Amino acid sequence: MRATSLLLLLLLACDQPQTDAARARRVRSTVGRVDSAIPPDRIIPFAAPATWDTVKLASGVQYRQPPGFALGLNDNMVGGCNQRTLPVDSAILHTEIFNRWPLTLAMRRGDLNRMARVNGFVLDTTIISTQGQRPGESPRVRRGEGWVLVGGRTYVRDEPVDVLLGALRYRGGCFLALAARGVEINIDTLGYVLSTVKFPPAGP
């Protein structure tokens, strides 16, 4: 009898509606996931804490990042979008030289899917994968307004190599692209940083 009463109390406790705070924590933990089934009106936009560093470039680009986290953007890398900007067919990572490459940033002009393919990813509406991906593995994907970030794994001579590709939409048909290979980068932190990037308004 006592066991039955205890089980009934547990079931009632589990059936209680979530508090607003608990619901907010659950929503915040899933912001950016592609497969999130949370209604848009319940998604809480990411707000960088006051302790994060605000970076403002001379070009007007600004973003925020945790103390000690260096995204490495500068005015030369952000640049502009014009006919001199390299096309997406120019790989960001020169992986034929080394299997390891640090976080690299560059401006590229053209189609996002083509840029992904030349840098080792398949990225379209039906499938997202890394070239050389093995069965049972799947990349981690984060999305936000105007940006996408994909982290996955490929294999070189049967050795696993982590790869990452990020693209932040820039005006004029360009993307500010981020790529890394063989290095550990926290994809969630980088996604949060990308969600704070603001480009200056276009000139006259």
Cα 140-26-31 angle, rounded to 5 deg: 40
122 in helix, strand or coil? strand
- pLDDT given at position 36: 45
**What confidence score (pLDDT) does residue 157 get?**
76
Q: What is the pLDDT of residue 115?
A: 83
Instruction: List the domain boundaries for the chain.
Output: 2-33, 53-194
Q: CA-CA distance, 26 to 170, in Å (whole number)?
A: 31
Q: What pTM, to 2 d.p., does this model score?
A: 0.71
User: Do 194 and 187 meet the contact criterion of CB atoms below 8 Å apart?
Assistant: no
The C-alpha atoms of residue 59 and residue 82 are separated, in whole angstroms, by 16
Q: What pLDDT score does 144 carry?
A: 87
Question: What does the buried/exposed string (b/e) look like for 14-28 if buried means 16 or more CB atoms within 10 Å of the residue's CB?
Answer: eeeeeeeeeeeeeee
What is the mean pLDDT, run by run of 10 residues, along the chain of 204 residues? 49 46 41 47 80 93 93 85 90 75 90 81 65 68 87 78 88 91 89 93 65
What pLDDT is recorded for position 31?
35
